[in-house]
């Protein structure tokens, strides 16, 4: 005689009661209804899920419904620096430097003058205060001086008052030296919609870049030069450098020669913005992941 269904220690659970029912049907030689066994199996699987799977993982993907397929996810909107890069005229190259001025900036200005290149400097307010003569020299030599915050924080981590202070203190410092900024480049390239709106209220347009030299990562001339003209990419866009690194200054002569040989027309950020003819409404609306310094 077959042994009956044992339920200890969970004798009051639904699978125990279901097992007793199956045991009675087996002893009475009655057929097992397919529908009921399917219900039992589904309940059993659901019970295991509730026990073994975290609650957050139980969301049922819509594409798992029978007869449907997953839908493609729309790409994220691109920041304006990248949009400018895509929509600029072929050959327009905006050379930009972040985080200065610093001890190497004077040498860089001499190099730019030798190559007859006008650049755009996104400067820190505290460095502008420390090197006021370099700011005046930038302006006198035809370069543009723009806002990069006061001391390079991740602006997304600041409240509105602190964000405003970063921008306004830098604006006041630069204007006292004769600059009239029109652009704001957030430190690390990290922004959110509220920061974009705040910058607009301050009369500034948020701008990023489309070519990253990665001179903050690779402190060698060959690496910096190699990052500027990757294979298959034309010579145009917004180029990001940092004039606080001596390796960047050492590489700039070769970089400018290479870009010129590839047909670059060197323009300032303001000139580039006009040529790109991008509406301010296309400024970024989604947060970004922070770029390293």
Does the N-terminal peptide bond of residue 101 adopt cis geometry, omega within 30 degrees of 0?
yes
CB atoms within 10 A of CB 152: 18
Question: Which of 127, 143, 236, 242 is an active site residue?
Answer: 242
CB 206 within 8 A of CB 185: yes
Is 92 noted as a catalytic residue in this protein? no
CA distances from 169 to 125, 127, 154 (A): 7, 12, 16
User: What sign has the CA pseudo-torsion 80, 86, 87, 89?
Assistant: positive
Strands in 5-160 per DSSP E: 92-98, 120-123, 144-147
CA dihedral 191, 197, 200, 206 (to 10 degrees): 20
Q: Is 96 helix (H, G, I), strand (E, B) or coil?
A: strand
Residue with tokens 């004077």: 106
For residue 258 the two structure tokens come to 């290479």
242 is catalytic: yes
**Please, what is the end-to-end C-alpha distance for the chain in angstroms?**
78
Spatial distance between the Cα atoms of 117 and 119, rounded to a whole number of angstroms: 6
Strands (E), the chain: 92-98, 120-123, 144-147, 183-184, 205-206, 211-212, 237-242, 265-267
Give the span between the Cα atoms of 101 and 61, in whole angstroms.
Answer: 52
Q: Which of 83, 92, 98, 212 is catalytic?
A: 98
If DSSP codes are grouped into helix, strand and coil, which group holds residue 37? helix
Residues marked as catalytic = 98, 242
């Amino acid at each position: 005689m077959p042994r009956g269904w044992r339920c200890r220690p969970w004798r009051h659970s639904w699978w125990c009661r279901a097992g007793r029912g199956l045991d009675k049907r087996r002893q009475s030689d009655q057929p097992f209804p397919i529908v009921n066994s399917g219900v039992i199996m589904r309940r059993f699987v659901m019970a295991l899920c509730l026990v073994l799977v975290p609650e957050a993982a139980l969301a049922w993907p819509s594409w798992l419904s029978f007869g449907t397929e997953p839908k493609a996810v729309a790409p994220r909107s691109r920041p304006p620096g990248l949009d400018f890069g895509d929509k600029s005229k072929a050959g327009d190259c905006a050379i930009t430097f972040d985080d200065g001025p610093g001890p190497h900036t004077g040498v860089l200005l001499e190099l730019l003058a030798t190559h007859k290149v006008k650049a755009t400097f996104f400067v820190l307010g505290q460095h502008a205060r420390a090197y006021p003569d370099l700011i005046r020299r930038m302006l006198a030599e035809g370069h543009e001086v723009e806002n990069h915050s006061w001391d390079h924080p991740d602006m997304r981590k600041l409240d509105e008052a602190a964000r405003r202070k970063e921008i306004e203190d830098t604006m006041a410092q630069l204007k006292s030296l004769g600059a009239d900024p029109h652009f704001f480049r957030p430190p690390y390239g990290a922004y959110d919609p509220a920061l974009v709106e705040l910058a607009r209220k301050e009369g500034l347009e948020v701008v990023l870049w489309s070519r990253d030299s990665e001179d903050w990562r690779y402190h060698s001339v060959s690496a910096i030069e190699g990052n500027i003209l990757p294979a298959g990419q034309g010579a145009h866009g917004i180029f990001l450098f940092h004039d606080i690194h001596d390796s960047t200054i050492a590489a700039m002569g070769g970089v400018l020669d290479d870009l010129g040989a590839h047909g670059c027309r060197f323009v300032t950020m303001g000139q580039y913005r006009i040529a790109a003819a991008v509406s301010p409404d296309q400024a970024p609306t989604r947060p970004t992941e922070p770029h390293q310094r």
